Amino acid sequence: MPEHTPDRRNATNWNEIVRKHLPPLDLPQKEAEEVITELAVHLEDVYEEGIAQGQSPSQARQTALDEIARPQTLVNDIARAKHQEGIMNTRTKHFWLPGLVNLATSMVSLAVVIAFAQPRVYFGQHAATTLYVYWLAILPLCGAAAAWLSRRLGGDRLACLASSQFTSGAWLVCFCFVFTVSMFFERNRVLTFTSFLLFTGNWVLLPGAAMLLGALPFLRSSGRAGTLVGRS
Amino acid sequence: MTTKRIRPKIARGSAELAILALLAEQSLYGFEISKCIDERSGGALHFTLASLYPMLYDLEKRGWIAGRWQSNEAGRDRRYYCLTPDGKKALAPLRREWNVFFHALDRLAGVTNA
């Protein structure tokens, strides 16, 4: 059936009644009009049902009006349902915020370790990389912090896992970008594929494993049950 | 035995599942949805305009249902809601969650034989 705009002839009176009873909706004009029309046709249906059940017109009208007895609450609920997601939306709460906590804590701890400890240096074919063992020892805490926060804010298992691996993901994206640019655009022969693997192992896989270790206790059960209760 | 109407605080939590389950069967407009829920629950669940439409708009925002204006059999315009593919995907886990919830509550509070 083709989509069309509502015919307001049948709901004209109820449109006026809804407009009169409800405070202004905090929505774009067209959307607000549509909501008012929809509520008006609902009230009209309630009214007609009341008449069909033998109520007098004034009783049926009152029955319909009882449906919008708390107009301010209704308007707030509709505005919240339509648009307002609060300060943060679900993805931000479940993934981005815990992920940034993971990145911030791991980077601060790396800075502290670099300031106070000597790294171990590993050599590969035409490449060398540094390994901060103390940093690896701290990383489970960073992974645990992100997974705990994601879980606490209602994230499911995947969100907990992804946020706990945020730092590793950021490093991987950086390395891929640098490697691609160096190898294919700058024709840099010093940066070999071996060095890429060495860097990836030291800065992505090992930290990822360490952070996963910390996140494991929070991955055992999903936080979805909490989400259900929260929505209720 | 008369069915006592469930208090709004408890009923509100079930609205999401009730609406999705109904729309999985057919497209309905708001008043029909509230009537169907009322009838099928034997009057135990009742959603007023104030409790129904914010939930419909929230489900629509999440992409689980879609609404469009159509004429009903009497030639009057109503906004019909139907389940989207995402809504269909969401329904099965939601049913499982409620199943787990009921079993847990039963173990905890013995609601089945109350």
- For residue B26, what is the domain's CATH number? 1.10.10.10
CA distance B77 to chain A (A): 6
* Residues A224 and A184 reside in one and the same domain: yes
Residue B1 placed within a domain? no
User: CB atoms < 10 A from the CB of A83, how many?
Assistant: 13
d(CA B48, CA B53): 9
Distance CA(A138)–CA(B52), nearest Å, equals 49
Residues A149 and A197 in one domain: yes
Partners of A8 on chain B (C-beta within 8 Å) are: 77
Amino acid occupying residue A56: S
Is the pLDDT confidence value at A96 over 50?
yes
Whether residue A129 is found in the same domain as residue A219? yes
A208 lies in the same domain as A125: yes
Q: Does residue B44 belong to any structural domain of this protein?
A: yes
Mean pLDDT of A116-137: 78
Domain that holds residue A35: 9-82
For B57, which of A66, A78, A228 is closest by C-beta distance? A78
Residue A131, φ and ψ in degrees, nearest 5: -130, 120
**A215 plus A173 within the same structural domain:** yes
DSSP assignment letter at A10 = G
Residue B74 C-alpha, separation from nearest chain A C-alpha, in angstroms: 11
On whether any CB of chain B is under 8 Å from the CB of A38, the answer is yes
Q: Is residue A4 part of a domain?
A: no
Clarify whether residues A15 and A104 are in a common domain: no
Report which of residues A24 and A139 the model is more confident about.
A139
Which of A61, A82, A103 lies at the terminal end of a domain, its last residue? A82
Q: Which residue of A has its CA nearest to B30?
A: A42
Task: Note whether A122 and A189 are same-domain residues.
Answer: yes
Inter-chain CB proximity B30 and A82 less than 8 Å? no
- Checking if the pLDDT of A118 tops 70, the result is yes
Q: Based on the domain organization, do A60 and A123 belong to the same domain?
A: no
The pLDDT value recorded for residue A86 is 58
pLDDT tens-digit profile, chain B (114 residues): 445 666 666 666 778 899 999 999 999 999 999 999 999 988 888 888 998 999 999 999 989 999 999 987 777 889 999 999 999 999 999 899 888 888 888 888 877 766
Residue A179 in tokens: 């490697």
A89 burial via Cβ count (<10 Å: 0-12, 13-18, 19+): exposed
Q: What CA–CA distance (Å, rounded) separates B52 from B36? A: 12
ipTM over cut 0.90: no
The residues, ordered by sequence, that sit 6+ positions from A172 with a Cβ below 8 Å of its Cβ are: A200, A204
Q: Is residue B3 part of a domain?
A: no
Looking at the structure of chain A, the number of domains it has is 2
The Cα A145–Cα A157 span in angstroms is 14
What is the identity of the amino acid at B101? F
One domain for residues A143 and A169:
yes
Domain boundary among A40, A55, A82: A82
Residue at token pair 């931000």: A92
Interface of B with A in 6-65 (CB under 8 A): 12-13, 16, 29-31, 48-50, 53-58, 61
Tokens linked to A74: 């209704």
Q: Which of residues 9-28 of A touch B (CB under 8 A)?
A: 10
Domain that holds residue B65: 8-109
| Selected residue with higher pLDDT from B31 and A182 | B31
First to last CA, chain B: 14
Is B103 a domain residue? yes
Q: Tell me, what's the pLDDT at A9?
A: 44
pTM of the model: 0.55
Mind giving me the DSSP string for B23-90?
A: HHH--EEHHHHHHHHHHHTTTS----HHHHHHHHHHHHHTTSEEEEEEE-TTS-EEEEEEE-HHHHHH
Residue B114 falls within a domain, yes or no? Answer: no
One domain, residues A141 and A65? no
A61 and A145, same domain (yes or no): no
* Residue to test with chain B: of A37, A45, A157, most B Cβ within 10 A: A45
Distance, in Å, from the CA atom of B18 to the CA atom of B44, rounded to the nearest integer, reads: 12
B-chain CB neighbours of A1 within 8 Å are 70-71
Question: Is pLDDT at A204 greater than 70 in this prediction?
Answer: yes
Same domain, A155 and A182: yes
pLDDT score at A126: 65
> How far apart are the C-alpha atoms of A219 and B99, rounded to whole Å?
22
Q: To 10 degrees, the CA torsion angle through A214, A220, A223, A224?
A: 150
How many domains are contained in chain B? 1
Both tokens of residue A152?
């606490």
Does B2 reside within a domain? no
Q: How many CB atoms lie within 10 A of CB A3?
A: 7
Residue to test with chain A: of B16, B17, B31, most A Cβ within 10 A = B31
Of A65, A82, A99, the one marking the end of a domain is: A82
pLDDT exceeds 70 at position A29:
yes
Q: d(Cα A214, Cα A142) in Å, to the nearest integer?
A: 7
Percent of chain A as helix, strand, coil, to the nearest 5: 75, 5, 25
